[in-house]
Amino acid sequence: MKAEALKEQTTASRPIKALMVYPPNTPVTFVPRRITPTGLTKGERGFEQTKECYLTEVIPFFKTLKDHFKGIQKALTKEIKEMKEIFEELEAEVDQNVVNRKHDEIERKNLLIANDNLIVDCLSKEVFYIAMNSELNVYRFTEMHDAHTVVQARCLELEA
């Protein structure tokens, strides 16, 4: 019964004539023929058939897989490099934003200081103006009072 199964397996297995190479990310459905351990342990013709199966199907299958993995690895390496460049650009942009933010904060503090200085300057000028104006008003009032006194004296003189 085992010998018949081996004969069926041998007639069913054919060598792969040509292997298609697909672009990366294409599902591949290469499945090597089933190899039973009996072909290796029995002293029958199974060893030669197993060897032939390895040479014609299994080894080319794994070579194809290796080629596909190399293609996938190259594509992934390229994508990883692109992602790394994008992350580096983003990192540089974040760093620049931090610098800009600190610069803006310093500029804002400088504007607040300048504003405070302007307020102090305006207040001191306003106080000076009020003081000077008051002094001028007092001086004018005194002059007017003196002039009024002179006019009153002149009026009294004229009446007399």
- The angle at the Cα of 9, spanning 8 to 15, to the nearest 5 degrees, equals 125
Per-residue pLDDT tens digits for 55-93: 888 888 888 888 888 888 998 999 999 999 999 999 999
Is the pLDDT at 12 greater than 80, yes or no?
no
Is the pLDDT at 3 greater than 80, yes or no?
no
Read off the pLDDT band of 9 (50, 70, 90).
low
Is the pLDDT at 156 greater than 60, yes or no?
yes
Read off the pLDDT band of 131 (50, 70, 90).
confident
Average pLDDT in the chain: 77
Q: What is the pTM of this model?
A: 0.37
Q: What is the pLDDT of residue 21?
A: 52
Q: What is the pLDDT of residue 14?
A: 47
Q: Report the range of poorest mean pLDDT among 29-38, 94-103, 151-160.
A: 29-38
Which residue ranges make up each domain of the chain?
Answer: 2-93
Is the pLDDT at 47 greater than 80, yes or no?
no
Q: What is the pLDDT of residue 78?
A: 92
H-type helices in 25-58, by residue range? 38-41, 46-53
CA 20 to chain CA centroid, Å, is 40
Which H or E run contains 105?
Answer: helix 59-159
